[in-house]
Copies of this chain bind each other. A is one copy, B any other.
Amino acid sequence: MVIVMKSDASEEHIAGVVERLADIGCEAHISNGQIRTVIGAIGDRGLIQQLPWEAMDGVDRAVPVLKTYQFVSREFQGEDTVIPVGNARIGGGVFAPIAGPCAVESREQLFRTAEAVKKAGATILRGDAFKPRTSPFSFQGLGEAGLQLLAEAREEFGLPFVAEVLDPRDVEMIAGYADILRIGTRNMANFALLSEVGKVHKPVMLKRGFTATVDEWLNAAEYIYKEGNHQVILAERGIRTFETSTRNTLDISAAPVVKAMSHLPVVIDPSHSSGRRHLVVPLARAAVAVGADGFIIDVHPSPHTALVDGSQAILPDEFAQLMKQIRGLAAVLGLTV
């Protein structure tokens, strides 16, 4: 933390900051500039960042220069975390194609989709039984019956599956079915839920909050990690910006940014970020090219009848075509799919 004093700060103000640092066992490096004094705070950064420096007399601003998360950082662990899921793997040079319907609507819809994505080369199935909806009058998912259908599809097609969990009270139940628990974008900062999935022995896919910075996202991952669950997969799914031609703005740079800062794998969701079917294929190709560890895509046999997010689902045939391109691109970059 760098503490920037006001230009008219007195000697007492400066001494006050130094003393406060000493109280918590930290050191002060004082630099007297022409106009202002700037104090570098050296020591336990967790302690330092919690103190209300800007409330102290004579202090203008406190500028953090280091990060607060630790366990999920590259400095804590140099090599990539690789997460095995059934026969599939995420991270460490393997590109994981995850695909399936946004919401499970029926056995027929789920099985048709699962069969198609498996054949095209997906290694993990997606499909939700509990849906968070902006309007309370929208379809909220099939609930536990949906999870049972997903478990049957796993049996039938040999595809492990990922499903969303919305409520801390449902974590144990959903973990009894799903291979990967997913925390949705609206719940990235739902700390009660993060703590709960941190106690489970199943991998967790943590969607980035659509309004979260990369730092906040990694801090959310830290919540899960510190509870003992180290199998965290990060998923970039677009952020909220002023642009309205896409539902959200896919922050594709976040993939290489996060891979430099953290050892956790990162996948990209081209469906929910764009919200538009004709953008899914180009963005999915970009996901491989940028170095992500996988993608998660909505596929639906008849998008125009879908109960949730049909506008962004691609057809099984489009997915099969996409997978051919993905294998070609991955080969150029030395990745296995």
Q: Are B252 and A243 in touch, CB under 8 angstroms?
A: no
Q: Are B166 and A191 in touch, CB under 8 angstroms?
A: yes
A229 within 8 A of B: no
A187 within 8 A of B: yes
Q: How far is the CA of A242 from the CA of B248 in the complex (A)?
A: 10
Taking Cβ atoms with an 8 Å cutoff, the residues of A that contact B are 2, 4, 7, 20, 29, 31, 33, 35-36, 38, 40, 42, 46, 49-57, 61-63, 65-66, 68-69, 75, 132-139, 166-169, 186-187, 189-192, 209-211, 213-216, 219, 222-223, 226, 239-246, 249-257, 260, 273-274, 276-279, 282-283, 285-286, 288-291, 303-307, 309-313, 325, 328-329, 332-333
Contact partners of A190 in chain B: CB under 8 A: 186-187, 190
Nearest CB of B to A19, in Å: 11
Q: How far is the CA of A46 from the CA of B136 in the complex (A)?
A: 10
Q: Are A134 and B219 in touch, CB under 8 angstroms?
A: yes
A46-B135, A63-B63, A219-B135 known; A255 and B243 CB under 8 Å?
Answer: no
CB-based closest 9 A-B pairs = A52-B310, A211-B211, A289-B289, A54-B311, A328-B332, A55-B303, A167-B192, A186-B189, A285-B289
Is the contact region of chain A dominated by helix, strand, or loop, or is it mixed?
mixed
A7-B75, A253-B249, A273-B253 known; A137 and B40 CB under 8 Å?
Answer: no
Nearest CB of B to A181, in Å: 15
